[in-house]
């Protein structure tokens, strides 16, 4: 009595012969007849299934910072009295518009408006 080796796919698997033995491809849902260990209707579907199983998990999008107006982070200077303002475009003492110096902020020591160009930062 000859025994068939357990790894011999040709003799251990059979080809379906009835119409109820047809399978649906899990990728494209096309009916096909299974040959040996075949699970997909074509090589393209097999490769598509592999790439879907092995694609990296989607990273959540980083949170979008709240929108700010450019004026809120800009230093302005009055052309008459040379006083500086942070986020204000109008000199209330001279009653005229101030000119833009550039982006900047308040000095942490003296709490006065300082532009990045004054510090040498671009």
50 vs 74: CA distance, rounded Å: 53
The reported pLDDT for the residue numbered 57 is 83
The reported pLDDT for the residue numbered 75 is 93
19 vs 16: CA distance, rounded Å: 8
The reported pLDDT for the residue numbered 29 is 92
- What integer best gives the mean pLDDT of the chain? 83
The reported pLDDT for the residue numbered 107 is 87
Q: Which two tokens stand for residue 114?
A: 């300082």
What is the reported pTM? 0.44
Helix (H, G, I), strand (E, B) or coil at 122: coil
pLDDT digits (tens, 9 = 90+) for 5-63: 666 555 555 554 555 568 899 999 999 988 888 899 999 999 999 999 998 888 888 88
Residues 115, 102 contacting (CB under 8 angstroms): yes
Residues 101, 88 contacting (CB under 8 angstroms): no
Q: Which two tokens stand for residue 95?
A: 């009653």
């Amino acid at each position: 009595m000859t025994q068939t080796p357990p790894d011999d796919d040709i003799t251990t698997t059979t080809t379906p012969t009835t119409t109820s033995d047809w399978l649906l491809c899990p990728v494209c849902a096309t009916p096909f007849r299974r040959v040996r260990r075949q699970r997909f209707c074509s090589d393209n579907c097999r490769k598509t299934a592999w790439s879907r199983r092995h694609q990296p998990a989607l990273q959540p999008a980083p949170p979008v910072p709240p929108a700010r107006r450019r004026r809120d982070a800009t230093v302005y200077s009055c052309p008459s009295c040379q006083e500086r303002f942070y986020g204000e475009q109008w000199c209330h003492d001279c009653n005229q518009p101030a000119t833009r110096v550039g982006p900047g902020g308040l000095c942490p020591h003296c709490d006065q408006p300082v532009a990045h160009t004054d510090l040498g930062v671009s």
